[in-house]
Amino acid sequence: MLSQEKLNKVQEIIARYPEGKQKSALIPVLHLAQDVFGWLSAETMDYVASLLKLEPIEVYEVATFYSMFNLKPVGKYLFEVCQTGPCMINGSDDIIEYIKQKLNIGVGETTPDGLFTLKTVECLGACGYAPMMQLGKHYREHLTKAKVDQIIEECRKNAGILN
Amino acid sequence: MSVKLLLEKAHVEGIRSFDVYRREGGYRSVEKALKTMSPDAVTEEVKKSGLRGRGGAGFPSGLKWSFLAKPEGVPRHLVCNADESEPGTFKDRYLMEFIPHLLIEGLIVSSFALGSHATYIYIRGEYAWIPDILEQAIAEAKNNGFLGKNILGSGFDCEIYVQRGAGAYICGEETALIESLEGKRGNPRIKPPFPAVKGVWDRPTVVNNVETLAAVVPIINMGGEEYAKIGVGKSTGTKLISACGNINKPGVYEIDMTISVEEFIYSDEYCGGIPNGKRLKACIPGGSSVPILPANLLLKTAKGETRYMNYESLADGGFATGSMMGSGGFIILDEDQCVVKNTYTLARFYRHESCGQCSPCREGTGWMEKILKNIDTGKGKMSDIDLLWDIQRKIEGNTICPLGDAAAWPVAAAIRHFRDEFEWHVNNPQESQTRNFGLAHYADPIYVPA
């Protein structure tokens, strides 16, 4: 369950909206929960419903609508590679192929060590800096195979330090 | 000589901080509006400026503001649409990242004009690092008396909150955005009632794009009439263009809408031409949903006149031979690009982003994606091309929100202008997998700079 600090944050978010409109806090609170738990299990969604005094179904229908919410566990590092027009023009297909080979996984799959998940996404608004991917909070842009190698290396290193 | 009203200071060292922004003349429009003008007078200036919505639709902003219902005792809200998701578009991100105080300043003045005491910035969820930048700017503005209670002693109270979306293009549509802000799925509402009467929490609401609200700052500083002198005709002021695809200098440019498309593509001040000496094949000038134009119709209108980077000129010829300014997402395709494949990726995008409420869009986008994928991978039939045309026609105009149109237009324009390329794919299923059509067949439309 969420720490007191996070629960305070939830209250702070609810206070942004008029009295009785705490449902508006749903998406921000789901983000917060996903940041803590890594993905949104049914238990987590039920918990969020109780925090905001909503019916669980109100949370499920929102969580299933938005593409950023992970409804099953993902790897520690989630590679979300854009494949829409402007990225495709700049070679995103090759980048996706390369990551698949390099990590030996398909799109939507996670490496056996639980470190990496590969997803393809639609336009993330970095068209001038294509090809690109989202990694956590930030974008990695102007991707090349060498840069992908570097990013994977960097993730492995960070994971090692954290372990 | 280019005029810069929004990005002039974007590269000043430290401009993200309140102190530097203020030193560079920031927040003057708040002082001017709150100390010397009435809310209606601010709206009047925006009307006079001729400012048109910068999100894509190009609707006159002052007029939109004047529709806001003001029933006694009911709070009103301004919502800033920062859900920038139209493929090819990344201008709002640039503005928020590099000069966040400009948006906050525009929001304060606009909130004053509209009487919004709680204003929300709805930003796409993937721009996950930008809320921190905006919240920092909001906190600084508040510490300096430009937000909060009784701003600058004017008696006007205002708070600004940042709300993140969670991955849904449809939430850029204003009623879907409002639903999302209420904590629901992003399903667009049937209009009327319009948000100006019944918006967020059923209260009167104005939803404006980031760039639109930022433009209120120069409008108030210089006056609406002066602002209207910049640009040409009904394309007043400056416009941010995010340029991408096959160009030497992708990025965000502020233009005054008097330059020609050719200058924008080839001048070193802007896109800097096409890499590796390649030729220009086609362009999607206003974000992925506007019609693609082949090079010959892009640089000159069907009448043979120079085409300019503004609302009227880009639309010259209607959808038969023209396109749209849209969101300013400018995508260039060089001679090696495949229009079929590009159209397929866009169709896939719209299928992915359809909210599923209206059958023509939910079913039609899926069909278009499948058929285009077949043609692209050498499994297409000649009748597929007419089938595609038929499907897009049945989507357009038959949905609650414009996503249906946005999905239909790129397919229609690709077939309209590049039908022979589609046919070539069908007739040459093997060859089309290894070689591009453009080189062999587009000698005329492909543009070679003098």
Assess B169–A contact: CB distance below 8 Å, yes or no: yes
Chain position carrying tokens 């905001």:
A52
Residue-wise pLDDT tens digits, B252-278: 999 999 999 999 999 999 999 999 988
A158 shares a domain with A81: yes
A92 shares a domain with A52: no
Ranges of residues in chain A whose predicted pLDDT is under 70: 161-163
The mean-pLDDT minimum among B50-64, B289-303, B426-440 falls in B426-440
Instruction: Decide if pLDDT at B50 tops 50.
Output: yes
A98 shares a domain with A56: no
Binary contact (B186, A66; C-beta < 8 A): yes
Q: Which residues of B touch A67 (CB under 8 A)?
A: 166-168, 352
Query: Could you give the domains of chain B?
Result: 18-225 (3.40.50.11540), 239-334 (3.10.20.600), 339-441 (1.20.1440.230)
Q: Compute the nearest-CA separation of A110 from chain B (Å).
A: 21
> Which residues are CB-neighbours of B431 under 8 A, at least 6 positions away?
none
Instruction: Decide if pLDDT at B1 tops 90.
Output: no
Secondary structure class of B447 (helix, strand, coil): strand
The answer to whether the Cα torsion of B106, B108, B110, B111 is positive or negative is positive
Is residue A155 annotated as involved in ligand binding?
A: no
A118 shares a domain with A59: no
In this complex, the residue of B182, B186, B242 whose CB is nearest that of residue A127 is B242
Residue pair A86/B245 in contact (Cβ under 8 Å)? The answer is yes
pLDDT at B447: 60
| pLDDT-above-90 percentage for chain B | 93
- Closest to B162 measured CA to CA, from B143, B147, B144: B147
Last residue of a domain, one of A15, A40, A63: A63
> Which residues are CB-neighbours of B135 under 8 A, at least 6 positions away?
B162
pLDDT at B440: 47
Q: Which residues of B touch A17 (CB under 8 A)?
A: 201
Secondary structure class of B396 (helix, strand, coil): coil
A106 shares a domain with A150: yes
- Closest to A135 measured CA to CA, from A158, A105, A106: A158
We report the CATH number of the domain holding residue A116 as 3.40.30.10
Exposed (0-12), middle (13-18) or buried (19+): which is A146, by Cβ within 10 Å? exposed
Is residue A87 annotated as involved in ligand binding?
A: yes
Residue-wise pLDDT tens digits, B289-334: 999 999 989 999 999 999 999 999 999 999 999 999 999 999 999 9
Domain count, chain A: 2
Is residue A123 annotated as involved in ligand binding?
A: yes
In this complex, the residue of B163, B165, B329 whose CB is nearest that of residue A127 is B329
Q: Which amino acid is at B91?
A: K
Distance CA B189, CA B54 (A): 22
A146 shares a domain with A107: yes
Secondary structure class of B186 (helix, strand, coil): coil
Binary contact (A66, B166; C-beta < 8 A): yes
Helix (H) or strand (E) holding A80: strand A77-82
Assess A108–B contact: CB distance below 8 Å, yes or no: no
Assess A114–B contact: CB distance below 8 Å, yes or no: no
Residue-wise pLDDT tens digits, B72-87: 999 999 999 999 999 9
Secondary structure class of B331 (helix, strand, coil): strand
- Region B184-207 average pLDDT: 98
Binary contact (A122, B169; C-beta < 8 A): yes
DSSP B73-136: T--BEEEEEE---STT--HHHHHHHH-HHHHHHHHHHHHHHHTBSEEEEEE-TT-TTHHHHHHH
Q: How far apart are the first and last CA of chain B?
A: 23
Q: Which domain holds residue A31?
A: 4-63
Residue B159's closest chain A neighbor by CA? A16
Mean pLDDT rounded to a whole number for chain B: 95
Q: Which amino acid is at B426?
A: V
pLDDT at A160: 81
